[in-house]
Structure formats: structure tokens, C-alpha cells
Structure 1
């Protein structure tokens, strides 16, 4: 007996309904990307390993899927390296490529390679899958889509303001109310590390802080201690981890705490500009919240950082995030090109909309009209009608065989088709077609030569 097939852990098959709902989300995101002036690009699913490795920190590097070289990849490994059993030595000899971990680093590589073809500032959007060897859980997969928008070649904080507006516009269009856009600045985190005397531990500090919502203050404190940060330093910073009150009061606290840190004060200034500008412009549905514990564990962020939390009643992680990176292209030889970008988490947004019942009823409606098949002669007339309906932009179909009426009606019901068209022997004799409204159970006849009378009512 053949073994039942399976798929890799952390991946999924998507049903027609799921794909239709995802396309609905992507369609809205794409519409707003283009409304805001972003241009589409695509990059390969895999990159050279050196393009990706070392760009995401140690934890990120461990989650990158490596691709084995083709052919006999072991043959080129010398005996000493092979017998050492050290992956760090063996890996470069057996793997030269890796699946992309995100869309931002490949985008930086793209900008460097195509810089002579681009007009700066360059605004791009990209909607493609990425892969991470992470532990699968609800809303977190090993293969998932990111929907990114980035601007490179402009260091104005107005870009951050625009990206917040973009977030707000998309979530308003999705009718997703109650989302919170959390804000912080890596300069503020650097300033905190400086003030508490942990300058040399900025990366361990931010990596541990980024886990606050998962392991709590006690867990973060222990991880910082384990990473070499002194208890005195942690105690000095701890009040900031529990900031309460309005954004204004939080900014005032940060300003006082960081008054002797030039880099920290610069971060507070940048954050203040964003908040003041958004307050003047207003948002449709989202709210802003300063969250000093927001660290975004990726090493390439240098300024403002964002993370989008779903409505409070939804128990799920972030549904979007991003930030400012001042010199990401520098790692590929192009210095002083500032950038800022955001990403929408398609899979998590899908789960939130599903849980809140926010998908339109028609989103997975693949066909609006189904013509019943009564036989060869009737089917020919029905097919001619289907052709006219399709030319009018109506999604129409003909049941392929003259099966029993009950079977065809059940098919229409299961696919949630709102209208069924009947063209039987009697209808042919009268040169008409009968439309059955599946929701209301009503029927109405129309002239077969003038289907526009029906189409105009849809």
C-alpha cells in the first residue's frame, strides 16, 4: 500500500477559499502601495549565502534555510573538515545558496546592483514568499508571504509618517479597527544602553528586550544577566520597561532619562516629530503608542522602528513591522543610502480577519451564475449565454454534464453561487432563460437575446 503523502512541517496547502481570501487582502495592500507611489519588483527565491548570512544577527542566521550544492556536494570536502563535524566549517563547502529570510536584504542587494537604473528616492513594493526555519505555531509558518514597501535614498522623517499613513489606509480599507502601531527608535535603545553603562551590550540588550512579550520581565532580566549585562544596569533600565500613560508623558520620561545621551536624545527628537506630525494629520482607524520595549531584533535597523498589534481581543503577535535602516546597502558596497520600510504579515492578517468575521461574503464567490445542463441542445444555448455574460464581466459557468437536477443544484449550493440559470426545452421554445435566486428562492424569466436586462440588475 502506497504511503500517504505529506508536506513539510510549517508549510500549508491552501484551498480555493483560502486563496481567494488571501487575494482579497493582497489586492487591497497592492492598491494602496500603488496609490502611495510604490513600484513593484521581484527578486529570486534564493540568494547567494553571503548575501544573507550575517545580516540578521546570530538568531536570524540560524533560521536561514541553506540549499545544498548540486551534485556530489560532499566530494569537495577535505577529510579534516569532514571529520571535525563542525557545521561552521562544513557549511561553506557544501552550500553556496540559501532561501531568502526576508525581502529587505535582497532589496538592498537589488538597489546596489541596479543603482544606475534607478531614480532616487526609489519607492518599491514587493509581495513574495520568504522562508524561516522557525518553530511553527499559530500565525507563524516556515514558508509565508511578506508584503513590503520601502523607500531608499531619502532620510527625511516624513517617510516614516507616510508609512504610518499607509498602514492606517490599508487597515481602514480592510475594516480592521482597533490596531495599534507601536513606535520606538533604535537610537533610544542605544541611548538607554549608554546611560545604564551597557554600551558594549547593545545587541544582546535589544535581542533580550525584544522577547519581553513572550518571556516577561523576569525572563528578559535573566537573559540579560546570562548575556553579561550587569544587574545594576538592568535595575537602572527596568522602570522604562513598565512605562504607562500617554505618549506625551512617555516621551517626557524618555527625554529626562536620556538627557545626557546625545544618540538617545536624537531618537526622542525623531520620535517626537513623527507623533506631532501624525497628530496634525490624523489617522482613520489605527492608534499610535510609544513602546520603549519594542526592539525589532534585526540588526540593520538604525532609527525609527514600527510594529503593528492586532485589536486587543485577538490573541496574536504582530501583524506588521518595519523601520529605518541608514546604511543597509553599505554592506554591499554602496554607502550612505538611507532607507525605511514596512511589512504586512499576510498570514496573520488573514487569521485576524477570519476570527473577526471581516471578510466580505462574496470574497470566495468564484462564480456568480451557473447554467444548468439539460442536454446537448440546451447546453449549446446555455454556453452562448455564458459567453455573453462573460463579455459583460459577469463570472458565469455551465455545468459540464447533463447530470440530475438535484446534483447540479447541490453543486451550486456548495459553491455558494447566488444565481442559477435554467434553459430547458420550454425555455428554448420561448427563447428565454429563467434565473433562480438561490438566496431568496425566487425565479424570473428574461429574453435570451437580451441578457443585459438581467446583468443590469446584478
Structure 2
């Protein structure tokens, strides 16, 4: 059978790993500059931890893990005969791969609440899994790079997250990213004033798809969810909202004049917009987008989404928001949280398309000992041991080269990995060291070799 990997997953070459590490290190450095601490959580969680937290669409995309052993033994025969997969799944699968890092983080906070000092600022860089349809920039296994603050209701946290996005993308050389912002309270207010408050989730999920399926597609989906034509007519202005951020807030204020919750959302947005206006951004652009909904049930305040520069056709490269009651689902009430995520894999594709990757040196030894004489192998290995003890990356070519062809293979290996120093021979405890750039050869004792390579 021809070997293959599952759809939506990828292998990474050494250069791809180096480039991904460069992105992750840039993000991690920014996280720590802003005061965040790292944590890690398991790759899979109990199903009850994840299910019901992402809405109906999200639940369908969660990878379930079959129970170990004879998983069908405990399944109800009647359910099996009905072939109702949703009902059977609960009996044969108790665990699932994590869909994101936010819900596991909320679980972590609740479990470790007595060890945490609030406000708690954490970052997490780990893979997540979604049973999505693979396409450009969308994979079934991908990394998320998250930063969250729990235990603070201050809107300065939202301001800092916008600055954090700006800092990372500026450092990566990705100028012109658009940080879109909205507020869930505004969406709730709109649903209220058009008389569709009981359809808030359906309304926001459909509205969030505006850039994907267009105005007609959104209207069609809203109608299919039972939102009336009269209500849809009232939200028509949202499809063509224009002007500056302040203009948009003024229009929203008028539209939501009868909604207390809506007005609260406008005021929160105004605080953030004014603060960023005063502080400024390095290269990113902040834009109020009233159609931004992000179809996740847990956002309660600010909503963020970051779009790549316009010349790149790519989905969002980051997103997040405030979730005042997320930990409440695990029994810890009144702990406000806000967080953002960077889409590592999409950021990689954008940097690649724009040619923004710096030349990254792959891991390699500083010196390699070639193998043309087996009688000196132990001497070379002892020398390598000393070099490594002094922090000098060293390697021994393991296969003996006695023929012309075998010797050429060793020198080709040196060239392909661009190794700077080569010890080609050892004679009477003297090491013959060659600098591959200059071509100069030097005879050294072991102590001299260590000093030269330091």
C-alpha cells in the first residue's frame, strides 16, 4: 500500500519547521513582553468539556475518540439499530480532540483556581483539531497561539490585545493587517430592536458569513432560520456600513437608541477606539466591522478578527474576544475573560506568498569529523565529547569511506548542510581542521581545537 497522510494534515520539511519556529518564537516573545505566562493542556479532553461550547456547527467539527477496548459492548442495541450516530456517540466515545485552546483554558482556570493569582495572563501554543473541509489556509490539524486574561473586566485589556496584534505582525514584516472589531452587545442590541432577540445565535451565525456567501446568501440563511423579512429589512443598513470608525459608532448609537445593551456595546467600542486613536498603532489598521459575529456562543463583549493585507486572498489570521461567563459553565462564576488567537498556519502561508520569510539557518553542527580511517574513530569520538561539553555543536560521519566514491559522498554531505569546519584526519593526536569558507587547513591539539571552535 502506498503511504499517505490523512486529508487536512501535512508533513513539514526542516526549512518549514525552521520558518514555523521563527513565527512561533516571534509570537511567544511578544506574549512575554506583554506579561503573559505559558501553560499547556492535554491534546484531548472529556467530551463533556468540549461539547455544547461552540454551537451546533462547532460541535459537528469536533473529532471524537472511540473508547478503548470493545467500545460497542456497552452501546444500547436499540440505538444501534436506529443508526442514530448522535445518540450512539455518547455511549461509545467519552473523549474528544480539543477544538480550540480557549475552552480547555477555562477548564484549567476552574480546576486550578486556588493556585492562580488573578488577573491571570496566560499564553498557549499547541495544536488543535477540527473535522473541517480542507482548503487553502484551512486544515484539520493546525496550531493556535493564544493569549488570554481572566479575572479582569477592564477594557484596557482589549486595548492591549490590539497593540499585541500590531506588535507581532509588525515584527513579522506583515504591514497593512486589518484588525476588525465589533461587540457582541451591539449584535444583541440589533437583534432586540428588529424583534429577533430569540434568534440571536442564528442571526449572528448568518451575519458572520457575509464576506463568504454575500448579502443574498445571508438573507437566505436568516429566512431559513425563521427570521422574518420585516426584521431582515431593518438590518439592511448593516450590509453597507461605511465611514470612519467614529461615523459607524454614531450610526450604531442612533440605530440602537432603544436598546440598553446595544448602547453599552457602543460605549465599550468607543472607549477602545478612542484609546487606540490616542496611543497609535505601528503598522496595523483598526476597523469597526458591525457584521463581524464569529459564530461562537461564548463571546459576550468585544469580538476581534484579523485579516491579512488585501493583496493576499486568505481568511482571517487571528481572532478572539471577551467571554464574561465562559468559566461559569464549569462552576466558577463572575470571572471575566478576554483573549485572542494567532492562526500560525495561515500566517505562514501569507508570509510565504509575500516572500517575507527571512533566511533561516537550519540546525547544523559547527564542525563535522569525517570518517576515512576507522583506527581513529575512538579518538574522534572522545574529541567530539569534549567539544560538546564546551557547547560546540559537533557531528561524526558514521559510515567509513575507503573508496573515492565514498569519500566524495562525505564531502557532498558537508556541502549540502553548509558545515563551516571539517576535521578530515587525525594523525598522532593532531587534528587537521579545515575552514570550508577560506579553504585554510590548521593542525591543532584537542585543546587548541576547542579554543578555535569556541
Asked if these proteins are the same fold (TM beyond 0.5), I'd say yes
Deviations 1:206-258 (A, max 9, x none): 10111112111111111111111122222221222222232222222222222
Mapping of residues 302-321 of structure 1, within 5 Å: 302-321=300-319
Mapping of residues 65-214 of structure 1, within 5 Å: 65-214=63-212
Q: Secondary structure at the match of 1:116?
A: coil
Mapping of residues 46-445 of structure 1, within 5 Å: 46-376=44-374, 386=384, 390=388, 393-403=391-401, 404-415=406-417, 417=418, 419-424=420-425, 433-437=433-437, 442-445=438-441
Deviations 1:36-71 (A, max 9, x none): 222222222221111111110000011111122222
Change (3 A) 1:383 1:355: farther
Counterpart Cα distance in 2 of 1:396 and 1:208:
58
Shift of 1:328: 0.4
RMSD: 2.4
Q: Secondary structure at the match of 2:121?
A: strand
Counterpart Cα distance in 1 of 2:237 and 2:377:
75
Task: Answer whether contact 2:8 2:140 (CA < 8 A) is retained.
Answer: yes
Change (3 A) 1:304 1:11: same
Task: Answer whether contact 1:373 1:401 (CA < 8 A) is retained.
Answer: yes
Deviations 1:118-154 (A, max 9, x none): 1111111112211111111122111111111111111
Deviations 1:294-314 (A, max 9, x none): 111110000001111112211
TM-score, normalized by length of structure 1?
Answer: 0.90
Shift of 1:362: 2.5
Q: Which is worse superposed, 344-353 or 370-379?
A: 370-379
Shift of 1:325: 0.2
Mapping of residues 21-40 of structure 1, within 5 Å: 21-40=19-38
Q: Secondary structure at the match of 2:338?
A: strand
Q: Secondary structure at the match of 1:343?
A: strand
Q: Secondary structure at the match of 2:100?
A: coil
Counterpart Cα distance in 1 of 2:183 and 2:166:
20
Shift of 1:31: 2.0
Deviations 1:62-90 (A, max 9, x none): 11111222222222233322222222322
Change (3 A) 1:433 1:77: closer
Q: How many residues align?
A: 448
Counterpart Cα distance in 2 of 1:407 and 1:197:
76
Deviations 1:305-330 (A, max 9, x none): 11111122111111111100001011
Shift of 1:424: 3.9
Change (3 A) 1:387 1:78: closer
Q: Secondary structure at the match of 2:440?
A: strand
Change (3 A) 1:444 1:385: farther
Q: Which ranges of structure 2 fall in alignment gaps of 5 or more residues?
A: none
Q: Secondary structure at the match of 1:334?
A: coil
Change (3 A) 1:114 1:389: same
Counterpart Cα distance in 2 of 1:6 and 1:452:
45
Change (3 A) 1:145 1:229: same
Q: Which is worse superposed, 57-66 or 9-18?
A: 9-18
Task: Answer whether contact 2:193 2:256 (CA < 8 A) is retained.
Answer: yes
Counterpart Cα distance in 2 of 1:60 and 1:215:
19
Task: Answer whether contact 2:19 2:360 (CA < 8 A) is retained.
Answer: no
Counterpart Cα distance in 2 of 1:394 and 1:353:
32
Q: Which is worse superposed, 9-18 or 103-112?
A: 9-18
Shift of 1:189: 1.0
Task: Answer whether contact 2:425 2:431 (CA < 8 A) is retained.
Answer: no
Deviations 1:319-371 (A, max 9, x none): 11110000101111111110001111111112122222222213434345444
Counterpart Cα distance in 1 of 2:129 and 2:50:
12
Task: Answer whether contact 2:425 2:432 (CA < 8 A) is retained.
Answer: no
Deviations 1:365-406 (A, max 9, x none): 434544444434676676566556545655443333343443
Change (3 A) 1:194 1:363: farther
Task: Answer whether contact 1:422 1:435 (CA < 8 A) is retained.
Answer: no
Q: Which is worse superposed, 83-92 or 324-333?
A: 83-92
Counterpart Cα distance in 2 of 1:392 and 1:353:
37
Change (3 A) 1:369 1:318: farther
Q: Which is worse superposed, 405-414 or 54-63?
A: 405-414
